[in-house]
Amino acid sequence: MNKRVLSLTLLFACLSLVTMRAEGRSVESFNSGWSFKKAPAEKELAVNARKWDSGWSEVEIPHTWNAKDMQVQADNFYEGAAYYKKQYFFPTELKGKRVFLRFEGVGSCAEVFVNGMLATSHKGGYSAFACEISPLLKAGEENEIIVKADNKSRPDVIPINHNLFGVYGGIYRPVWLIVTEPYNISVTDCASPGVYVTQKNVSKKQADVNVKVKLDNGTLQPASVTLQNTIYNQEGKQIATQSRSFELSAQGEQAYESSFTIKNPTLWQGRENPYLYKVVSRLIKDGKVIDEMVQPLGLRKYEIVAGKGFYLNGEKYPMYGVTRHQDWWGLGSALKNENHDFDLATIMDVGATTVRFAHYQQSDYLYSRCDSLGLIIWAEIPFVNRVSGEEAENCRNQLREMIRQSFNHPSIYVWGLHNEVYQPHQYTRELTQSLHDLAKTEDPDRYTVSVNGYGHMEHPVNLVADIQGMNRYFGWYEKKIQDIKPWVENLEKEYPHQKLMLTEYGADANLNHQTEYLGEALNWTKEFYPEAFQTKTHEYQWSVIAAHPYIIASYLWNTFDFCAPLWVRGGVPARNMKGLVTFDRKVKKDSYFWYKANWSKDPVLFLTQRRNWDREKKETSVTVYSNIGTPKVYLNGKELSGIREGYTPVHYIIDHVTLENGKNIVKTVVVKDGKTYEDEIEWMYSGEKKRDSDQSVNKEEHAGF
């Protein structure tokens, strides 16, 4: 067995906070040595898995069985039960210790067996869960761990279908073996860190911090222990500490609190300065640290003012928002940290300041990285699309788990309660109200949000959370691209006191579909999804969003293309192509550079329509994105005149550009601060081509896809 002890911060806290080794407990990777087998149809009982001698394959965790079948053929993938088993030698020297397994994510329902005995079960594919297995282990012997995972849709577990996105089956996030002394900081409090850090009255002068620690005594007798809570700054200097000694009861978990006032703190200021303190909680017995947890502390104050905007530490803060589904082409949801890092680097590069992680709780590592990067994030549960009437308990449980597991991440500003859930309206409204009440009980200091796919404030499931989100796809699912403007202006006039966010908008783009002939709307049920229509949608709609602070924050849909396993859209099975980046993460679409030019401080000079190289019109237009000044544009070496500003100050257009027959070279140049920036594309023209541009559609509602 690998005895290497990992720092606890690898599991629970931001990597940038690591300055000391955790003491008292060991946290060991439990991801290798697993065997996998799909359940035989006639043997669905987990107890039978111990008797199956054939058909097992060796796998490494993270693992999903849907990495291929769910992504390539619509509505034809395996959903159901499968089994994982692993042999674990329990050394005799660990007798008397407490042993736990912590699963970061199993899709979507799980049962864990140790030596044939049920240790725990869990419903929900996106939250972590932990169980103690020490009573079931045999010291000095090989022990068998079996996990049943089942991703079949069921009415009592959210999401209740695979309609908007696929729930990948498997142990798709890491597993950890945790060993502690008999007395510990709670491991099984909804798989949370067992430490809850709250902050009040945050300003540049001072901040009040409270640390609550839940302790567990696994023996039959009370124990004399000391709990020490210490705050360190980012440089590792201790700035405050408190210790408290007491008798730890053997009956039930006990919570103990410490309060601090930090003078003249350095504030967590988003991407500008994501400064992190850390809180170290130590449990001490007989002068020895027997357990320790390290948690991040970013001192910040979030405030939303209706009609005006979002404020961070009293300063108005731009909410340049993107959304992210976690799956990758060829990997599904079985991602490693480098995959999460790649996605975050892309999000940072485009200039986003806030991320909606939709439509479910995502990796704790991802949230931790957002703490250190300064991204302001939205975390939500997968209560989406449809209701069954049987999911209420599971909704509340998944929300409770998400809040407790993610409580200490300073980057999280809001808990998402539902997304486009409607009939029966009264049931949905009452359930959402109960979720709001639960969130405020668990965490009174953060906002809640619910999201509607309709465009009117008076919808019966609205206004039961702190923030009202609305998903609007003008020009795609309904009406025309330009109808976003009268929509928001009417809401501004009629509902000036409501906190509104535009929580999804955009259009699909298949890079193999290119045309110059674009209308003001596109019938999304057709097979032709031109990239230029997506670009046109984002160009106009971002300009409207930027001009209306009534929209507190906006979240374009989506950063990356993702799997939609029940659909065939735009000629591609099982794919939603609304991403700014392709599913394989290899190509950034034109819309990506539109937002980077508008949001990022990095220099951007970009010519659009480079993939539309076979031009349809002899007389065309050239579009340039430049955030470094007015560009010069050349066609076949000759400078073009008549450049004009488009929708925003980074948007430049030259109309009535006449192409030559054959190859045409378009080049743009900007000289700024003595440095020359260039971009160049090639177009071909071989005669006029006409495409049917009748792409209009007028729908009052959409499926939320």
Q: Which residues form the catalytic set? A: 420
- Identity of residue 455: G
- What is the tally of helices (H) and strands (E) in the chain? 9, 44
- Identity of residue 460: P
Q: Which residues have CB under 8 Å from 149's CB, separation 6+?
A: 81, 82, 83, 84, 106, 107, 108, 109, 110, 169, 170, 171
For residues 226 and 219, the answer to whether their CB atoms sit within 8 Å is: no
For residues 658 and 642, the answer to whether their CB atoms sit within 8 Å is: no
Q: Is the peptide bond before 424 cis (omega within 30 degrees of 0)?
A: yes
Phi, psi of 438, rounded to the nearest 5 degrees:
-65, -45
Three-state secondary-structure class, residue 130 = strand
Q: How far apart are CA 36 and CA 46, in angstroms?
A: 13
Q: Indicate the pairing of strand 651-658 with strand 644-645.
A: antiparallel
- C-alpha closest to that of 625 among 656, 602, 648: 648
Three-state secondary-structure class, residue 469 = strand
The gap from C-alpha 646 to its chain's centroid, in whole angstroms, comes to: 32
Q: Which residues have CB under 8 Å from 324's CB, separation 6+?
A: 343, 347, 355, 356, 357, 358, 362, 558, 559, 560
- Identity of residue 32: S
Beta-carbon count within 10 A of 583 CB: 22
Q: How far apart are CA 448 and CA 402, in angstroms?
A: 13
Q: How far apart are CA 474 and CA 409, in angstroms?
A: 34
Query: CB burial class (10 A; 0-12, 13-18, 19+) of residue 139?
Result: middle
Strand ranges in 382-446 using DSSP code E only, listed in sequence order:
412-419
CA 216 → CA 188, 281, 397, distances in Å?
A: 9, 14, 22
Phi, psi of 406, rounded to the nearest 5 degrees:
-110, 10
| DSSP-assigned beta bridge partners for residue 225 | 246
- C-alpha closest to that of 128 among 362, 340, 316: 362
Q: Is the dihedral of CA 610, 631, 485, 519 positive or negative?
A: negative
Between vectors from CA 337 to CA 335 and to CA 343, what angle results, nearest 5°? 80
Q: Is the peptide bond before 296 cis (omega within 30 degrees of 0)?
A: no
Q: Which residues have CB under 8 Å from 474's CB, separation 6+?
A: 480, 481, 482, 483, 484, 487, 505, 537, 541
Q: Is the dihedral of CA 463, 465, 469, 470 positive or negative?
A: negative
DSSP state of 561: -
DSSP state of 474: B
36: its two tokens: 């996998």
Q: How far apart are CA 500 and CA 462, in angstroms?
A: 11
CA 620 → CA 526, 575, 623, 648, distances in Å?
A: 26, 32, 10, 21
